[in-house]
Amino acid sequence: MVVKKQAIESDAPSDAIADYLSGRQMDLLVLATHQRGGLAALTHPPVAQPVMRATQLPSLFIPPDNDGFVSYSDGVSTLRRVLVPVAADPEPQLAVDAAVALGKQLGARDVELTLLYVGEERDMPKVHEPQVPGWRCNRVTVQGAVVSSVLEAAQAGQSDLVVMRTRCPKGFLGTLRGSTASQIIRSATCPVLAIPCQ
């Protein structure tokens, strides 16, 4: 794994970062978020999510006041609980595979992977459960609004990471609110790995 840090000065940071990344081969963006909402979001335009949309790269969003899942002192993974919200659209297998790939890359052991579906159990999409030594997989269904259900499950399960697919918001109201993934990224208290639909 190669980590590269780059300082860029610009009045339009999202555009500057996207321009810097264009033509460069990247596997993952790691972005800090401010999670601003309301008036603050209007006066301080977001940077992280527009960069992901522009680059279409898998992006790991780290919220404020969260230390992530890698120890600062020794670099050892502390990843133990991963939540993967699943839906029929976008197809969720890539999110499951990304969670496993990241966990393996970090050397994570003894991981509980929870597949969460908001809806009726009979409608839960088929997902190939990973067979990784030391990993356990749970399937959970809940009823309710998708965003609040995912956020509540992440909080209640003390998730270290949420991994999910993204899709473009639909219609005027969807554009105003943002996609389901965008809303979760703005509110989650743990890191979110977003895998864009190409």
Q: Which of 47, 159, 148 is nearest to 111 (CA)?
A: 159
pLDDT score, position 133: 93
As a whole number of Å, the CA-based R_g of the chain is 17
* Matching residue, tokens 């052991």: 109
Question: From the CB of residue 113, how many other CB atoms can be counted at a distance below 10 Å?
Answer: 22
More confident residue, 146 or 35: 146
Helices assigned H by DSSP within 22-119:
38-43, 48-55, 93-106
pLDDT score, position 108: 92
Domains of the chain, CATH where assigned: 77-198 (3.40.50.620)
Strand residues in 79-145 grouped as ranges (E): 81-86, 111-118, 135-142
pTM for this predicted structure:
0.85
User: Which tens digit of pLDDT belongs to each residue from 38-50?
Assistant: 555 555 666 777 7
Is residue 172 very low, low, confident or very high in pLDDT (cuts 50, 70, 90)?
Answer: very low
Residue 176: pLDDT over 50: no
Helices assigned H by DSSP within the chain:
13-21, 38-43, 48-55, 93-106, 146-156, 171-177, 180-187
pLDDT score, position 43: 59
Q: Which of 196, 189, 197 is nearest to 81 (CA)?
A: 189
User: Which tens digit of pLDDT belongs to each residue from 6-17?
Assistant: 888 888 888 888
pLDDT score, position 41: 54
- Dist CA 57 CA 54 (whole Å): 8
User: Which tens digit of pLDDT belongs to each residue from 79-128?
Assistant: 999 999 999 888 999 999 999 999 999 999 899 999 999 999 999 999 99
Lowest-confidence pick of 23-27, 34-38, 50-54: 34-38
3-state secondary structure of 27: coil
Residue type, 5: K
Task: Report the interhelical angle of 146-156 vs 180-187 (nearest 10°).
Answer: 40
